Amino acid sequence: MIDFSHLFVSAAFAQDAAAPAEGTSSALMNYLPFIAIFGVFYFMVIQPQQKKLAAHDKMVKALQRGDRVLFAGGVHGKVSKLDGDNILFVEIADGVEVKIDRTGVTALEAKPKPAGEGESK
């Protein structure tokens, strides 16, 4: 009796032996979607977040006396005194000052305009 299964098995091994030559380019093609997703993720999420963080650090370092600020907790106040590199004294109400770290400042409100500027008669 003739066993035809050996004919098919040897053909399968022959196809498998040729696969590594094609496998190098197909392996790159398998990773290409991941590389593209990372590229899109970097330019749409990571880079804008880094720019935002750099702008916030610049704003916090440039705080001066008289600036109106917003805390992370939603409290508004006016910088009354700078103490060292990291400490601010902020007036949140008449006669009420709190001592905070510069990193607690979330945003800088619009600076007040000097009297007479921006007024038209």
Name which CATH class applies to 64-108.
mainly beta
Contact in structure between 100 and 117 (CB atoms under 8 Å):
no
Write down the pLDDT at residue 52.
95
In the chain, where are the structural domains located?
A: 1-62, 64-108
Number of helices (H) and strands (E) in the chain: give both, helices first.
2, 5
Nearest to 74 by CA among 108, 106, 111, 109: 106
Write down the pLDDT at residue 28.
80
Write down the pLDDT at residue 29.
86
Write down the pLDDT at residue 85.
84
H/E stretch holding 57? helix 47-61
DSSP 74: S
Separation of alpha carbons 90 and 104, rounded Å: 11
Separation of alpha carbons 104 and 81, rounded Å: 15
Phi, psi (rounded to 5 degrees) for 73? -85, -5
**pLDDT by residue, tens only, the chain of 121 residues:** 666 666 565 555 555 554 555 555 687 888 999 999 999 999 999 999 999 999 999 999 999 999 999 998 889 999 999 988 889 999 999 999 999 998 899 999 876 666 666 555 4
* Residues found in the chain: 121
